[in-house]
Structure 1
Amino acid sequence: MKRKWIAGLLTAAMVSAALIGCGGNKEPVGTDTGTEAAGMKESAESSTAQSTDVSDLSGQEEYVCKIVCVGDATSESCEKVAEAASEITMAKYNTRIELVRLSYGSFAEEVNLMLSSGEKLDLFPNFAFSTITAANTGQILALDDLLPEYGKDILSVVPDTDWNCVSIGGQIYGVPNNKDKAEGFGLAMRTDMLEASGYDISSIKTEKDLEGLFAAVKEKYPDSYPLVSDNGGMGYYNITRDDLGGDFGWLENCLDDSEMTVVDWFETDTFKEIVQRRYDWAQMGYIMPDAATNTQNAYELMAAGKGFSYFYNTKPGIEAEWSRKVGKDITVVELVETYRTSASGMNTWYIAHNSEKPERAMQVLNEIYSNPDLSNILINGIEGENFLIDSERGVLTYPEGVDASNTTYSSVAWVWPNELITIPWEVDGADIWKQTEEFNNNAKLSKAFGFVWDNSDVLNEITACNNVTAKYKNALDCGSLNPEEAVPKMVQELKDAGIDTIIAEKQAQLDAWAAQQ
């Protein structure tokens, strides 16, 4: 690893601290003020001169920090990456890294099992987890006492306002990733199949416009499905809604200046129209018939030629990211303008409640966030095996014979704490992180931007409602159930489970928040 050259990228990360925050100076419901994080940062900065020599910590007793992350990788490659990462963390903290990568489909189940069984676990991302639920159920630890002492570099980079998005009841429960923080939605398609179909996509502006494209692809490739699911899910909706922190209760159109009414999404005409359209597509053979029970991810299906497209969120470099994973050129058509909610793009890292030494976990998390060498290893793998560095152009390439389809360690930069200090891939371009900042800064804001939902008083109702949606939602999203029959049943079962109580509580919190703005 060319450490001196990579370390220069850290400057770019510090510049990215100016990325737009999560609530301005707005005070989220459930917190005393929005200044606690700022106070921690000032405290950390004031003591930096007295404790900049982190080699003081190399004399600690040896510790193994277990990191669980999402993404495809072989066990052998995880061991190699952990060994390379440990060279850095052992020298500074006498801490060895243990790394486990889990598939997208099994991540939530396996991490929940670790958390409930008491199995050793130190650090994990919020992929498939909700910060508010994880905090209120005791799965993750508050970080307020750890950040000022062991997370100084994190505090120096993360904007004060972003801490509001991960604060519950006045305490910080996660470290926000430094990445794209806005979102749009669209359709990712195999370019070769698109071109072979001869279809002009310039007229496609919304999801409604896709039927002609799917018909053309189905005619050209009768043995392939125009639209596939991802591990049984197709939950991206091509609209500008705000889930207001998760669970139940949404703003149906969060960019409408007059819209501040929390609704049951499943009762809206918009939801019914979407799932009816997908059901119709499934009947015409445009969606794979086993979409709701499919256990493969969309990348694999598209790489194998079994699928043409998948709904996904858009961002700078998304086509290159998909191209790496599919092993084919990908074209993305945007269906929704870029916008931002309190939750959108807020990927977060947690310290598990069963961490044996949370302070050691924070030391490692701080190092990942601030050390380009360590971050690059954990994100991209081993130089010479998983990537090569083109230092002249400042990008990564694959070694001969290696590509996204056969690499033993897939690069999933967005899920790691700070992709903005790593070396970008050649297909993304050397200026991808600059584009990412512009993407964040140009996004429109939800009317409820800065609001943080506290679900602690309705956890029983949320559990009951989750049990209901588990029966219907994926199947409806994938076009596998007739919505004329299934939607009324789901809506009634949700009411019986207490969804109206959840919505009333969320509306009350949103109204209280809005009154303070």
Structure 2
Amino acid sequence: MKKKLAVLLALVLSLGTILAACSSNKDTSAADKGGKKGEPYEIKWYTIGTPQKDTDKVFAEVNKYTKKKINATVKMTQIDWGDWAQKSQVMINSGEPFDIIFTNGTDYVQNSQKGAFLAIDDLLNKEGKDVKQAINPALLEGIKVNGKIYGVPTNKEAARQTVYTFNKRLVEKYNFDISKVQSLEDLEPMLKVIKENETKITPMATFKAYLPFDYIFNNEMPFAIPFEGDRDKVINPFESDLAMKTYKTMHNYYKAGYLKEDAATSKDSWPMDVENWFVRMGDSQPYADLVWSRAAKYDVVSVPAENPVTINDSVSGSIQSISATSKNPEKAMEFLNLLNTDPYLRNLVDKGIEGVHYEKSDDGTIKDLPARIDRYNVPTYSLGNFFILDLYDNDPKDKWEKFEEFNTSAKPAPTLGFHFDSDPVRSELAAITNISKEFYPALATGSVNPEEYLPKFNKKLKEAGIDKVLKEIQKQYDDWKSKQK
């Protein structure tokens, strides 16, 4: 009996030693994650944009501040525009450990649905309670996927408005009246003048002509609902008369030499800081021309191509999501909370170091120094809350009020808040995606004759199962709509 008790006692003592070791390891692990008693946790953050020469210099200052505030440092890695889609998805699919990643649109929805991002509802109520108060509730509501929030949206314009943007110097030189531009066809007289007189200027920066529909995925995929007319039916927009008309116009422009010959395949993103274009198309916001002119170092001016509309892509146009592979999601949320509510940190990450990249006036407004443009020019929209950024010296004092008015004036799209579950038609969507990548760039840049290629495009979509996908989207859309009433 004594021997049995001795053995039992030894087992208990051994078990206690093991548990103590486990507890010690757990405590060490917690300390490694960062906390009041631990070493600073390094937050790995991936975001979009051309890598900048002074990023390490700026983040040395960032880390001095975040160490004091949340006992964490931040390693921001920028991935260039043309590489972003592929490289970011490879990182996600490989299960690479990191903490925060920029995301938007369909990528945000699909990665949330497959578990690549964490649902942060609980984190927002704890570590993120300040940012939850700061962000427009419509943005948080609009990015819910199956009722949960999977990222912190940038508090900025919630609406989308496509515009034509012109090189202002050339507009004034030739006395063009751009206020009369209301359609793609209205550009033709100006493009002709530029082609004949400006040998170093490409009349149209390479852009893919936009068809105004409410897209389920994006405007390259053949699933959408009309903004006007029957807002209850999902259609293939490439079968519309508008598609044929638009692509015919682009093809005429292409044949006239208004676009580059390699427009369909070019990876040239037409940065504004190179003055080699006359007109381009893109999404706008209040006083966007001031921002673009500042970045380009020459003046641009825009006119609307459509009225403001709030769509899923506009509310989900810029999001920071926490990876499911994060070793410390609480610390990641603490950083996002600070980034979106602390004016000093937000301006430091966005504008760089005061006295090096910008200077501040007595009235609190700022002005870029050469190093800001040349060495630390990061995309503001991709980083965080706009409304705590310092105004530039030439910014209107009512800039943020205009953002609020812009959001309020926008008409909500039919599918706002609807997110399609693609699992039932995943194989069909994979085939359709490949077909769209084959045909869409050539058609939308005018590089091919739409009378020949658009029917081929639609025929291949039929063969790949587009009707099955349209039926499934319609089913889910009808079900979603029935629950909105």
TM-score class, shorter? 0.7 to 0.9
TM-score (norm 2): 0.86
**Who is 2:26 aligned against?**
none
Correspondence for 2:458 among 491, 506, 516: 491
| 1:310 Cα deviation from its structure 2 partner | 1.0
CA distance in 2, matches of 1:286, 1:317: 28
Deviation at 1:86, TM superposition (A): 1.2
Deviates more, 1:346-355 or 1:284-293: 346-355
Distance 2:315 2:139 in 1: 11
* Counterpart code for 1:66: K
Residue equivalent to 2:415 = 448
Q: Which residue of 1 aligns with 2:266?
A: 294
Is the aligned partner of 1:243 residue 2:244?
A: no
Match of 1:27 in 2: none
Letter in 1 for 2:292: W
Equivalences for residues 70-469 of structure 1 within 5 A: 70-74=48-52, 76-127=53-104, 130-229=107-206, 234-235=207-208, 237=210, 239=212, 241-244=213-216, 246=218, 248-252=222-226, 254-256=227-229, 258-300=230-272, 303-346=273-316, 347-392=318-363, 394-399=364-369, 401-402=370-371, 404=373, 407-469=374-436
Post-superposition CA distance 1:352-380 (Å, at most 9, x none)? 23222222211111111111111111111
Residue type of the alignment partner of 2:337: N
Alpha carbons of structure 1 residues 325 and 297: separation in structure 2 relative to 1, 3 Å: farther
Q: Deviations over 1:464-489 (max 9, x none)?
A: 21111111112221111222222222
Do the aligned partners of residues 482 and 417 (structure 1) sit closer, same or farther apart at CA in structure 2, a change above 3 Å counting? same
**Distance of 1:470 and 1:493 partners within structure 2:** 12
Matches within 5 A, 1:30-109: 57-74=35-52, 76-109=53-86
Q: Give the CA deviation at 1:238.
A: 5.8
CA distance, structure 1, for counterparts of residue 372 and residue 143 of structure 2? 36
Q: Distance in 1 between matches of 2:136 and 2:372?
A: 36
Partner of 1:476: 443
Give a deviation string over 1:51-104, Cα, whole Å, max 9, x none: xxxxx9433442110111222342x41111221111222112211110112221
In structure 1, what is the Cα distance between the partners aligned to 2:217 and 2:456? 25
User: Does structure 2 conserve the Cα–Cα contact (< 8 Å) formed by 1:89 and 1:95?
Assistant: yes
Q: Call closer, same or farther: CA 1:87–1:248 in 2, change over 3 Å.
A: farther
Deviation of 1:308 (Å): 1.3
Partner secondary structure for residue 470 of structure 2: helix
Seen in structure 2, the aligned counterparts of structure 1 residues 423 and 238 have a Cα distance that, compared at 3 Å, is: farther
Tell me the TM-score normalized by structure 1: 0.81
- Runs of 5+ unmatched residues, structure 2: 1-33
Partner SS, residue 388 of structure 1: strand
Identity of aligned residues (%): 27
Q: Secondary structure at the match of 1:509?
A: helix
> How far 1:331 moved relative to its partner?
0.9
**Residues of 2 paired with 1:359 and 1:235: CA distance?**
41
Cα shift at 1:245: 5.2
Shift of 1:391: 3.7
The answer on whether the counterparts of 1:226 and 1:286 sit within 8 Å (CA) in structure 2 is yes
SS at match of 1:259: coil
- Secondary structure at the aligned position of 2:195 is classed as helix
Aligned to 1:336, what secondary structure does the other structure show?
coil
Structure 1 portions without partners, runs of 5+: 1-55
Q: Post-superposition shift, 1:248?
A: 4.6
1: CA distance between counterparts of 2:264 and 2:114? 29
CA offsets 1:102-146 (integer angstroms, 9 cap, x no match): 221111122122223333321122157522211223322222332
Tell me how large the CA RMSD over aligned residues is. Answer: 2.2
What letter corresponds to residue 250 of structure 1 in structure 2? A
User: Does the Cα contact within 8 Å between 1:57 and 1:92 map onto a contact in 2?
Assistant: no
- 1:259, distance to aligned residue in structure 2 (A): 2.5
Deviations 1:23-57 (A, max 9, x none): xxxxxxxxxxxxxxxxxxxxxxxxxxxxxxxxx94
Report SS of the residue matched to 1:124.
Answer: strand
Task: Indicate the larger mover: 356-365 or 58-67.
Answer: 58-67
Any idea what the Cα deviations from partners look like across 1:369-406, whole Å, max 9, x if unmatched?
111111111111222222112241x322112x4564xx
Whichever residue aligns with residue 186 of structure 1, its letter is V
Between the aligned partners of 1:147 and 1:77, the Cα distance in structure 2 is 32
Q: Give the AA of the match of 2:302.
A: V
**Offset of 1:160 from its aligned partner?**
4.1
Cα deviation for residue 332 of structure 1 reads: 0.6
Does the CA-based 8 Å contact 2:112-2:150 persist in structure 1? yes
Indicate conservation of the 8 Å contact 1:123/1:349, yes or no.
yes
- Partner SS for 2:264: helix
Supply the distance in 2 between the matched residues of 1:336 and 1:161 (Cα, whole angstroms).
22
Counterpart CA distance in 1 for 2:55 and 2:423 is 37
- Alpha-carbon distance change, 152 to 60 in structure 1, aligned in 2, over 3 angstroms: farther
